[in-house]
Every structure is written in C-alpha cells, then in structure tokens.
Amino acid sequence: MSTLLRLATAGSVDDGKSTLVGRLLHDCKAILADQIAHVKTVSEARGGDFDFALLTDGLRAEREQGITIDVAYRYFATDKRSFILADCPGHVQYTRNTVTGASTADVVIILVDARHGVLEQTRRHLAVAGLLRVPHVVLAVNKIDLVGYDEAGFTKIAKDVNEVADQLGIAHIQAIPVSALVGDNVVDRSAHTPWYDGPTLLELLENASGRIDNSQQPLRFPVQYVIRPQTDDEYRDYRGYTGTVASGTVSVGDQVIVLPAGRRTSIAGIDRPVVTATSTTVVERPSAVAGEAVTVRLADDLDVARGSVIVDAEASPGTRRELAATVSWLADRPLTVGARVLIKHTTTTAQAIVTKITGALDLDTLGVIDATELALNDIGKVQLKIAAPLAADPYSSNAITGSFLLIDAHDGWTLAAGMIDDEEGELL
C-alpha cells in the first residue's frame, strides 16, 4: 500500500509542538518562499525572532494567545515518503481537537519539555494514543537546549514516559532528545548530544511502518448508498451497493452474509467506475481490498440498504443491541446514566441509551475508578443499549467496525468517541 504516513503531535501546552512541526517542515525544505516571508513579517511586527509556530498556528486567536486551539494539517514529502502532519493543541480545554488529530494518525509524537518532565496532559495524551491504538508513539524530549543537553534528565524522562506507557498497554516508546527551536536531532543530527546515538526524528519517521494493513482480516463492507440508475440503457436493471472495504478482501464469487438480516448470498460482481468527458460507465474487476471505495453486486435480490454490512460468511461478527465500550467524552455537559443519545456506527445511525457507567480512568494512578458520570475530557467505560442491531467487532480487531460516535440528538454535537471493548472488556 501507500507509503503515506499520518502524524499527529501531542503533549502539554507550550511543550513546543507547533515549533517542532514548523522546524520539521522548514528543515525538510517544505516551506515555500511566500510562507517564509509571511512568518518573517509577522514575527518582526511582534518584535521577535522567526517564530516557527506561526507556520501552523493559522488562526487569529491562536496568534494572539500564542497557543494552538485546533488541529492544523500540513503536507510534505521527502525522498523517502510523504507525510500528513496534524499539529494538535496541548491545552486541556482543546483535548477534543487532539483526539480528532490522533484518531487518523499512524504515529503520535508526544512532546515533553525537558525542564518539566511528565505532566497531567502528557499522561492524558498518552492515554488517548493508547486508547485509539495509534500504531506508533514516539517521544520527543524537547527544549533540551534549556537544560544544557543533559543526558541524565533525558534518560529520566524517557523512563518515566515508558512507565506510563507500560501501564496503559502501549509498546516501548523510543525517545529522542530534540530542540525544536535550535533544530537539534529533528532533521539534522545534533553536535550537542554526543551521548545520543539513536535516529533523528525524521529518520525515525521515514522508517516507521505505515498504516496497519487490515486486508488479511475477515471481510467487512458497510453499505453506504445504493445505486439504481433506472435508465433506458444497459444499466436498466443495475443495482449496485457502494461502500469502502473496511477490512479484508472481496472477490467475485465470495460467499457472504448480509447483516443485520443474516441472509447468505455471493458476490456477483465488483465494479470500477470509468469516467470520460462524455460517458459514465463501469467495468468489472475481480477483487478489491481494504481501503478501496467500490461498488458490489450480489447474486440474490435481497433487501440491502444503507446500514447493511456485507461480511465474510465464515467469519460473521453477528449483530448486537448491547455494547460495552470505552469512550473519550468530548462534550462540556457531563454524561450520566440514562442519557439518550444517537450512536453512529459505520453507516448506521440509531438511538441509544447509556445503561451503565462502569468506571473512569484516573490520570494520577492510571487505574480505573468508580464513576457515576463522565466530565469533559474523561475517559470512561460505559454500557449502551441500542435501538437497532449493529454488526460490530471489538476495536482491537477492527478500528472501523469497532468504533462509533455518540451524538446529541438535539443539536447534533459530537459527544464522544467510542471504542468497543474486547470480550474480556479490557481496553485500558
């Protein structure tokens, strides 16, 4: 698959995330002349040196307050691969935006200020990365210039972070001593850290494996939209089910089950669009893999609509109306037992009731404690009863059929990011 890598930054406020991203872009020569000129002008007008953070802090309010409020996306490439970079906020008030940026990331770079070490936000963001099962987490111990390039301090922070990671079930985190401001070990190896013989940040990112390949998992194909041209030509009786393959491979002739109805059928055809200046047709293809947007046709005339999920006949997840899940609560008003919400799971949106709150993550001890409600930025465990049957998998085996949103039915606000627990109920 593609060599594209999606990165997100995380860490406490002012640890230097935006500066690091600006430095990375700058040293990769990914900033164009008019962008540099702009940052120079603005920095000088404020009477300061070239402020790398201005390359991503693009909103007026961000520049006035010197903090990041929402995610900025930047795109750059080196000789080895291309990157989508999400520069996320550190401030606790904007955690939901950091969750947004991290939810699509292959790599999260956690920054820690070398002077301050691990803070509550560091633990919160590590918990978010662990919960989202971001494939790689990297630690950048930043502002190393301000502690005299001290090796002992660096080693201590690396150890502290790995202790937290360990408790959260995150694999070993590689640590890099960097100065985003000076440019040490970001793209260019630093002469100030002779004691460090690991990779620079860029080297590490260029060699990180990309997106988790879930083409080997059982087939899951949530139907998005049904195509019925009803025209007077060869497509008069055409009925195609569109969607993006969530996992596995789909091939013509495959035996499948359509959920929630549970009907068995087989794949009659897979179509690829062919669009020219004047015509819109399709050609058949033998198969499609996870990540591809396609249209499938079925051998039997079944009742299939948006919300149906076509699955491998030998490995059906079945359906459920009750879920145990871990949620990241993103709304100002708290979640309480009995709350009525909407759940959006793949292409189904249904009503749901929160029947139980079974615990919340305590960021100090990293243990799960009893809770009767979840407040903004809390991570907690809940049970839901749902008005429609869902074809769901645990998040640990499938990030697409294992994830959901909780939505406020009244104003449409996204209340929570949800991840369906394993049978053991152990996600944290």
Partner 1 sequence: MRVAHVTALVTELDALESESIFVFREVAAEFERPVILFSGGKDSIVMLHLARKAFSPAGVPFTLLHVDTGHNFPEVLAYRDAVIEQLGLRLEVASVEDYIADGRLRERADGTRNPLQTVPLLDAINKHRFDAVFGGGRRDEERARAKERIFSLRDEFGQWDPRNQRPELWSLYNGKHRPGEHVRVFPLSNWTELDVWNYIEREEIPLPSIYYAHERDVFERDGMLLAVGPYSQPRSGESVGKRIVRYRTVGDMSCTGAVASTAGSPAEVVVEVAASTLTERGATRADDRVSEAAMEDRKREGYF
* Contacting partner 1 within 7-36 (CB under 8 A): 28-29, 32-35
132-191 positions binding partner 1, by CB under 8 A: none
177 near ligand GTP, judged by CB under 6 A: no
54-93 positions binding partner 1, by CB under 8 A: 56, 58-61, 63, 69-75, 77-82, 84
96 near ligand GTP, judged by CB under 6 A: no
Q: Which helix (H) or strand (E) holds 359?
A: strand 348-361
- Considering only 72-80, 84-92, 255-263, 402-410, which stretch makes contact with ligand GTP by CB under 6 A? 84-92
List the one residue out of 120, 163, 165, 87 whose CA is nearest residue 12: 120
Name, in order, each residue with C-beta under 8 angstroms of 267's C-beta and a sequence gap of 6 or more: 250, 251, 252, 253, 254, 256, 296, 297, 298, 299
Tell whether omega for the bond before 394 is within 30 degrees of 0, i.e. cis: no
Within 46-144, residue ranges assigned H as helices are 60-65, 95-103, 120-131
Partner from partner 1, ligand GTP, none contacting 424, C-beta within 5 to 8 A by type: none
Report d(CA 206, CA 154) in Å as an integer.
23
In whole angstroms, the minimum distance from the beta carbon of 56 to ligand GTP comes to: 8
244 near partner 1, judged by CB under 8 A: yes
Q: Which two tokens stand for residue 274?
A: 């062919």
327-386 positions binding partner 1, by CB under 8 A: 330, 342, 344, 347
Name which of 224 and 396 has its Cβ closer to partner 1: 224
263-302 positions binding partner 1, by CB under 8 A: 271, 273-278, 280-282, 291-293, 295
Partner from partner 1, ligand GTP, none contacting 18, C-beta within 5 to 8 A by type: ligand GTP
Report d(CA 309, CA 250) in Å as an integer.
13
- Considering only 7-15, 95-103, 276-284, 365-373, which stretch makes contact with ligand GTP by CB under 6 A? 7-15
100 near ligand GTP, judged by CB under 6 A: no
Of residues 146, 238, 252, 358, which one binds partner 1 by CB under 8 A? 238
Residue 133 contacts residue 104 (beta carbons within 8 Å):
no
Name which of 20 and 400 has its Cβ closer to partner 1: 400
Report d(CA 137, CA 110) in Å as an integer.
7
In whole angstroms, the minimum distance from the beta carbon of 7 to ligand GTP comes to: 14
235 near partner 1, judged by CB under 8 A: yes
Q: Which two tokens stand for residue 284?
A: 């058949």
Count each helix (H run) and each strand (E run) in the chain, helices first. 7, 25
Report d(CA 224, CA 305) in Å as an integer.
8
What does the binding site for ligand GTP look like in residue numbers (CB under 6 A)?
13-19, 53, 67-68, 89-91, 142-143, 145-146, 179-181
